[in-house]
Structure 1
Amino acid sequence: MTLSLALACLWAVVANVLATLPSRDNHWRRAYVLIAIGVPLLGFVTYQNGPWIGLLVLVAGMSVLRWPVIYLGRWLRRRLE
């Protein structure tokens, strides 16, 4: 397993642990931090392992951070109308 995949697995474990802890802002601050860490990590995974593995890691990250993705889709839909 490459370093980038090990870091992506660690990111997923940390994201799931953070999701179990209570939060006053519905986890949005944690989501922003996870996105800020996850985007460069996704680039690193794609660089080391290729685009297909990078796409799988992207889908896994989107499943963890599904509400920011849903809100982004709604915002884009409003902007395109």
Structure 2
Amino acid sequence: MTLSLLLACLWVLLAAVIGVLPEKLHWIAAFSLIASGIPLLGFLTYQSGPLWGLIALAAGASTLRWPLFYLGRWLNRRRRSTGE
């Protein structure tokens, strides 16, 4: 197992542990998971290939689905307000 796959597995375990913390800490933890997950995803893709990168991207998106929903809503509101 490569170092990047090991780090990605630890990232998923950390996300699961954060999920049982009190809700007031979830957004702070989500931002730190995003900030650490983006470079980790690039490292994993570089070291293990695009297939593993896509698998890790899907795992990260399913773990952080609420920030993605809110980002999609925000982008949709911005698109509608500009009149496009």
Per the normalisation by structure 2, the TM-score is 0.89
Identity rate, percent: 61
2:15 aligns to what? 15
Counterpart residue number, 1:68:
67
Quote the Cα distance in structure 2 between the aligned partners of 1:23 and 1:70: 17
Q: Which residue of 2 aligns with 1:49?
A: 48
Counterparts of 2:71 and 2:55 in 1: how far apart (Å)? 20
SS at match of 1:24: helix
Please report how far the alpha carbon of residue 7 of structure 1 lies from its aligned counterpart in structure 2 after TM superposition.
Answer: 0.2
- Distance in 2 of aligned mates of 1:52 and 1:75: 30
When the two chains are superposed, the root-mean-square deviation of aligned CA atoms in Å is 1.1
* Alignment pair present for 1:2 and 2:2: yes
Give the count of matched residue pairs.
Answer: 80
What TM-score, normalized to structure 1? Answer: 0.92
Tell me the amino acid that sits aligned with residue 66 of structure 2.
W
Runs of 4+ in 1 over 2 A off after TM superposition: none
